[in-house]
Each structure stands twice: as structure tokens, then as C-alpha cells.
Amino acid sequence: MGIIASLTFFSAPQHSAQADPANTDALHQQEISYQLYAGGINAVKANLIISYPDEDHYSLMLEAKTKGFLSRLVPWHGSFGTEGWRNGGAEKPRKHESISVWRDEEEIKTYRYEKDGSFLGLKITEDGKDKSPKDLPDDLVQQTTDALTATLHMMDKVAAGEDCEGKSEVFDGKRRFVLKFNHEEDVMLEKSRYNNYSGKAARCSVEVIPMTGAWYKKPRGWLSIQEQGREKGTLPTVWFAPITQNGPAVPVKMRVKTDYGTLFMHMAGYQTEAALRDDNLVTAKADLKDE
């Protein structure tokens, strides 16, 4: 299996997004664009697509890349896709795939799962060469999920009027960890020149808690960033808001404090499948198909 990501963008006005209880159109897809700012510099752009092909299935696709001056210093782009089953609001991944490109070096990780949550396997390809692990212990991989599906659980809860409170166990290819969400408070956000959302949002902190696997003695990577924020009084924080009645709440803002400054990710645009159809646009699509 492989991800076939076909992104077709047309010049169109971005609509201001706000909570609209009257919007009850059948919703199959939401597309959200983001801009990340570091020290006031627009450094990364991202696009998130959430699709419900039918009542029993879901898919998510997140694409991101550095831009501007940062893209010359850090030439990176990546895509992260998941598709799986829905059962009474509980999502179980069938396949998760991450593609990361640093300069000209490409790494592809493909994770497979059974419907009952059993982990089937991991395939890793680096620059066309198979680097898959031969054996993965059960305590590292079994009954885990991926980070996109874990986040979707929280998005569903917020859309249902619940707190974004909960945790999931995630395997990322080397490590197993708990991805924990803590509800802080509900707030009202106002539209700004950076963010295109106004309305009620749930503010949640996000914490990674190491379990097993290849963890370093000293925090590195995301764990290091997380601990830098903790020392400054706040964990990485995301704001979730339901834009329509029929879809999950979506991230509308994110904040990460580090030793080098504060990073903000803002929602720059939002479209639903219905809006795209009405505007005679072709929406971005992320298909997960058998090879």
C-alpha cells in the first residue's frame, strides 16, 4: 500500500472561520491551512485534511514544509497520513505512513494495524533502501496507535462538548510513549491578522510521557522542546474548536515555548467539501490505496 497525495490548489478567497451551529450540511471533508511563526517570521506552512468517506472509515493527511529564508537553511518537507476504521466514534488506524524529506534524503515509514488494535508491522525505506526492523517486541508496539489518530480522538471529544482530556499510547518507529491531553479552559478567540478563526475554543496542553524504546538519557527533539516549555511554565498548547456540527473540532491555534523563543501556529484558512463544491473548486485529496 502507499499514499497517493494529489493536491490541487486554485486561487480562491479564504473564508473567515467561526462556529456556525446552523451549518448542518453533510460533511465528508475538512481542509485547514496553517502558518507557523517563529520569532515573528513565517517559517512553515501546513495543510490538514480530515475525511470521513463513510460512517465506518476516516482518513487524515497532514503536509508541512519550511518556507522562505528558513527553507534555505532547513530544506525539509513531510507528509503524514492515516486511514482506518470508525466504530461508535472510536477510531482505529489501519495504516499510517510518514514521508520525510531532508534536502534530497527521503525516509518513508509505513505502519500497519489490525481492526482490534493489533500491530502488524513497520516498513522503513531510506533513499530507496529497505531499513525495516526485523523484530519488534510486543511491549513496544502492540495496542498502540499513531499521533494523528490520537489527536482525532480529542477533536471528536471537543466536538461532542466534552473536555479535551485523555491519553493514548503511540509507537513512532523507535519509541513508545503516552500522548496526553489536559483540558485547561474554554476561551473565546478573536480573529487577527494571523489567525482566521473567531469563537469558542478549548485550550489544551499536550504532553509526551516516555514508556519504552530508544529514549536518550537526556531529552532530545520534541521531548527537549516540551521540557523547555515546562521550565517556562507551560507545556505545548493547542486550541481546538468545532467549526461545523457534523465534523470533529479542529486545531485553530498552537503555541510552543522554547529557549529560543515562542512558536505559534495559526489557522490561515478553512474549507469544507460543501464550500469547495459551491465555489466550483477542486479540493485537495488524500487517497490511501492498495498498491
- Residue-wise pLDDT for 96-141, tens only, equals 999 999 988 999 999 999 999 999 999 999 999 999 998 999 999 9
User: Residues 209-236: what's their mean pLDDT?
Assistant: 91
Q: Which residue has the cell 466514534?
A: 89
∠ CA 141-143-148, rounded to 5°: 85
CB 95, CB 84: distance < 8 Å: yes
CB 232, CB 257: distance < 8 Å: yes
Three-state secondary structure string covering the chain: CEEEEECCCCCCCCCCEECCCCCCCCCCEEEEEEEEEECCEEEEEEEEEEEEEECCEEEEEEEEEECHHHHHHCCEEEEEEEEEEEECCEEEEEEEEEEEEECCEEEEEEEEECCCCCEEEEEEEECCEECCCCCCCHHHHCCCECHHHHHHHHHHHHHCCCCCCEEEEEECCCEEEEEEEEEEEEEEECCCCCCCEEEEEEEEEEEEEEEEECCCCCCCHHHHHHHHHHHCCCCCEEEEECCCCCCCCEEEEEEEEECCEEEEEEEEEEEEHHHHHHCCCCCCEEEEECC
Phi and psi torsions of 19, nearest 5° = -60, 130
Give the three cell numbers for residue 174.
523507535
- 13-49 residue pLDDT tens: 233 344 333 333 345 799 999 999 988 889 999 999 9
Q: Tell me, what's the pLDDT at 274?
A: 58
pLDDT band at 146 (very low <50, low <70, confident <90, very high): very high
- DSSP label at 217? S
In angstroms, what CA-CA distances link 132 with 51, 53, 102, 116?
29, 31, 19, 23
Beta bridge pairs of residue 182: 205
Q: What percent of the chain has pLDDT over 90?
A: 70
Residue 88 has pLDDT above 50, yes or no: yes
Residue 255 has pLDDT above 60, yes or no: yes
- DSSP label at 185? E
CA neighbor of 66 nearest in space, from 91, 111, 100: 100
pLDDT band at 73 (very low <50, low <70, confident <90, very high): confident
Quick check: helix, strand or coil at residue 13? Answer: coil
